[in-house]
């Protein structure tokens, strides 16, 4: 019975008749043996537990290094953006509006200057055209004065000096001086080469006295106003004989 109990490690309570003290004395070796076996089993279990713990640690892998929060905080400092107050935002908005209004003012000023210059130029051109047309309407009067002076005798029938001619000459001179002050000027024609921009040929005369296309006679005066043609001179031109 003792061998079976030791090998199977099964505890079976056995009751013995007789003195209880004798039973205790007889059972003491058995109890000691059972304690030794239990201590061996517990020792074997304690040896196995560390191995299991080691395997568990190996399976999980090495633990990470402890994170130093203070070090990370120092390495990557968090930059706090300054808070923009409502007053700063309003100032920035007003500055942008001021710049936009200033640029608009500069453009408007440039446009106004260009408009003013254009209006002044148009005004001068209109004034010149109006004056040129007015002077052109006065040219027939000048022509009549010249015809009158051309056919007025120096002396009258009574032998007196030509008082009428003198008066006409004075009026003619006064009138032509006024036209010159207004910008009207005569076109030189006689003896000048024929210029189709200034002269209008109505007749030609074959001659050897002068070169071809030379103005021989002025039939009607031509005039310019500020360098612009008002009326071309009507002329007779020399032709090759």
Task: Judge contact between 234 and 200, C-beta under 8 A.
Answer: yes
At the top level of CATH, the class of 185-241 is: mainly beta
- pLDDT at site 53: 44
- pLDDT at site 164: 77
- pLDDT at site 148: 86
- pLDDT at site 139: 93
How many helices and strands, by DSSP H and E, does the chain display?
A: 5, 6
Q: For residues 38 and 109, give the distance between their C-alpha atoms in angstroms, rounded to a whole number.
A: 112
Which H helix or E strand runs over 133?
A: helix 86-151
- pLDDT at site 74: 53
Distances (CA, A) of 171 to 3, 37, 80, 164: 176, 166, 97, 11
- pLDDT at site 20: 45
- pLDDT at site 30: 55
- pLDDT at site 227: 86
* Boundaries of every domain in the chain: 2-54, 185-241
Q: Which residues of the chain fall below pLDDT 70? A: 1-84, 154-162
- pLDDT at site 151: 79
């Amino acid at each position: 019975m003792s061998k079976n109990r030791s090998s199977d490690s099964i505890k079976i309570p056995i009751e013995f008749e007789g003195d209880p003290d004798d039973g205790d004395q007889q059972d003491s070796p058995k109890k000691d043996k059972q304690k030794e076996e239990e201590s061996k089993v517990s020792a074997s279990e304690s040896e196995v537990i560390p191995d299991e713990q080691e395997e568990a640690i190996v399976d999980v892998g090495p633990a990470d290094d402890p994170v130093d929060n203070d070090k990370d905080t120092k390495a990557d400092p968090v930059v706090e953006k300054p808070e923009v107050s409502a007053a700063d935002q309003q100032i920035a908005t007003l500055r942008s509006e001021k710049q936009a209004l200033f640029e608009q003012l500069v453009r408007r000023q440039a446009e106004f200057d260009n408009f003013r210059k254009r209006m002044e130029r148009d005004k001068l051109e209109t004034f010149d055209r109006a004056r040129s047309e007015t002077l052109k309407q006065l040219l027939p009067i000048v022509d009549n004065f010249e015809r009158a002076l051309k056919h007025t005798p120096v002396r009258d029938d009574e032998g007196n000096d030509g008082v009428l001619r003198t008066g006409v000459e004075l009026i003619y001179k006064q009138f032509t001086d006024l036209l010159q002050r207004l910008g009207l000027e005569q076109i030189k024609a006689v003896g000048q080469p024929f210029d189709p921009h200034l002269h209008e040929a109505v007749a030609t005369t074959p001659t050897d006295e002068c070169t071809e296309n030379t103005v021989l006679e002025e039939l009607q005066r031509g005039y310019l106003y500020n360098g612009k043609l008002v009326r071309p001179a009507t002329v007779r031109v020399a032709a090759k004989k």
